[in-house]
Amino acid sequence: MDAAIARRKLCPDHSLMRSKLNLFTFLASVAGIGFIPFMPGTFGSLAALGIYLLLPGWLFSGTGLLWYAAGLLGFSVLAALISTKAEKTLGHDAGSIVIDEVAGYLLCVIWMPHNWLVGVYAFVLFRVFDIAKPWPVKQSQSLPAGWGVVIDDLLAGVYTMILLQILLKIYPKFFGL
């Protein structure tokens, strides 16, 4: 009997998950990653790291950077709109909404060289700032609807980006350059 209870805690009731699954919750959870029952934000950030590593390097320099910035802006607005819709089913700033982690992570690497070391360092630092929520990250969560969900991660991405840029200027070898 105790094993069945423990299994239910580790494996959430699939019928409950299915009842909450629609197009917006599917997208907001990044194809269901946000429904992992522990550390969904970390898994969402890992998905963002994977996306970053799959992106072509030309997007991070020259005119490619303009395309990247425009795409990120569009993605961030879309993430806020999707989060607004998903909150109606999942609740305010539900942990299973992780599309905001993807937007925040992709912002923190925008002016960095494209390599796996940058990706890993960005992942670690982004998680630190996203969890610690220094001012004004925490306060931004009170913005209405999906904007509060996404803006706090974008601000954590800005903090990460600033620190990464400082590290890049001080010691580029840290990034394998």
pTM, two decimals, is 0.86
Position 93 confidence tier, pLDDT thresholds 50, 70, 90: confident
Q: How large is the average pLDDT for residues 147-157?
A: 93
What is the spatial distance between Cα 154 and Cα 18, in angstroms, rounded to a whole number? 29
Q: What is the mean pLDDT of the chain?
A: 88
What is the spatial distance between Cα 168 and Cα 165, in angstroms, rounded to a whole number? 5
Match 């890049």 to its residue by tokens.
168
What is the spatial distance between Cα 98 and Cα 44, in angstroms, rounded to a whole number? 5
Report whether 164 contacts 121 (CB < 8 A): yes
The 10 Å Cβ neighbour count of residue 62 is 9
Residue 147 contacts by C-beta under 8 Å, 6 or more apart in sequence?
80, 84
* DSSP single-letter state for residue 61: S
Angle between helices 116-132 and 99-108 (to 10 degrees): 120
Match 């890993």 to its residue by tokens.
120
Report whether 64 contacts 58 (CB < 8 A): yes
The 10 Å Cβ neighbour count of residue 92 is 11
3-state SS class at 47: helix
Match 């879309």 to its residue by tokens.
78
Q: How large is the average pLDDT for residues 75-82?
A: 97
The percentage of residues in the chain with a pLDDT greater than 70, rounded to a whole number, is 89
Q: Which amino acid is at 110?
A: I
Q: Which residue has the higher pLDDT, 31 or 92?
A: 31
12 preceded by a cis bond (ω within 30 of 0): no
